[in-house]
Chain A
Amino acid sequence: MDKPTHVAPPAPRTGTDSELKIADRTFDSRLVLGTGGAANLAQLADAITASGTELVTVALRRVDPHAGGSIVDVIERCGVDVLPNTAGCFTAEQAVRTARLAREAFETDWIKLEVIGDEDSLLPDPVELLDAAETLVADGFTVLPYTNDDPILATRLEEAGCAAVMPLAAPIGTGLGIRNPHNLALICEKIKVPVICDAGIGTASDAAQAMELGCAAVLLATAVTRAADPALMATAMRDAVNAGRAARLAGRIPKRHLAQASTSFEGMANL
């Protein structure tokens, strides 16, 4: 079998689509790639390139004096922007402090805000999340909160001044796909800032479904980084996001209970 070339062609344009606009930045790609779970930095670089993404997440941890290679260098070489996260924080205070450190380390006021409520599910803690979002917005951050698939919480986060809201498809790393498509659709209808489906995506059809439901973008990590062939899955995700977006813009046909012939019966021979 030929090895696919992992060079991302330009995203197909529909003629009616526009760039993704978050706060003061615009993106051609509607895929945000998380970097967690990659086996090594070379594999990660290939996946970033293949995905066509322009924005990748990183976490902030203690310096490891024995670490080989820097993820910052990889991201710079790939020519993509960094979106630091507050992964691992369980309280608003911890998340706010982590965000301020991230701003210092990466010279960006963009933050993917995660405040986790439970170690087993890694589901967001809505009370702490909203508290942290309000504090960070007031502190001048561009806040992209990872949130539950709850339309009311999404509204509260938008009202707090978040630049996007990022509801989960399913718990982090599960690959279960979109557990509550109705809620995700409600969030997309209700929220004016970009809705980015974040976490729980397992495969390309999940990413396409998120876009068909009206999401502005998809954020995923594990589905690519832990796939048997990360770069090939990154290519699949890129194409799925583009296909789902195009399908959303194209306007799908209504679902029907009974068949409707696509071929006319008129002129049918009497045989």
Chain B
Amino acid sequence: MKIELNGTAREDIATVAEAVAAVSEARRGLAVAVNGDVVPRSEWDRPLDEGDSVEILTATQGG
């Protein structure tokens, strides 16, 4: 299954939780959007669909 994770094509990821684990060891201070919509932490075990765009964001320096 092809998805896009933070702008990169991936074929080895099936759930939101796996996507999170693929980019960060941290669990705090993260937020996940699938196709632009927030996925709350409580729903991170949810499976992804073909072609989903997953964005995993965290704090960075900014004014």
Binding site for A on B (CB under 8 A): 6-7, 23-24, 26, 28-33, 36-38, 40-41, 55-63
Contact = CB atoms under 8 A, between A and B. Distances in A.
B38 A71 contact: no
Given A62-B6, A62-B7, A106 B59 contact: yes
B28 to A, nearest CB: 7
B60 A100 contact: no
Nearest to B28: A72
B33 A65 contact: no
A83 to B, nearest CB: 10
A57 to B, nearest CB: 6
Contacts of A63: 6, 23-24, 30, 56-58
B29 A44 contact: no
Interface string A99-136: 01110111000000000000000000000000000000
Given A65-B23, A104-B40, A85 B56 contact: no
19 contacts: A34-B63, A35-B62, A59-B59, A61-B57, A63-B58, A70-B58, A71-B61, A72-B29, A84-B59, A97-B36, A97-B38, A101-B31, A102-B31, A104-B31, A104-B40, A105-B30, A106-B29, A199-B63, A222-B63
A87 B62 contact: yes
Q: Chain A binding site: helix, strand, loop or mixed by DSSP?
A: mixed
Contacts of A38: 61
Contacts of B60: 58-61, 64, 71
Contacts of A8: none
A230 to B, nearest CB: 12
Contacts of A62: 6-7, 55-58
Given A101-B38, A104-B38, A104-B40, A60 B31 contact: yes
Contacts of B61: 35-38, 44, 58-59, 71, 225
Given A36-B61, A36-B62, A173-B63, 19 more contacts: A35-B63, A37-B63, A58-B62, A59-B60, A60-B60, A61-B57, A62-B6, A62-B56, A63-B23, A63-B56, A72-B58, A87-B62, A87-B63, A97-B38, A101-B32, A102-B31, A104-B32, A106-B59, A199-B63
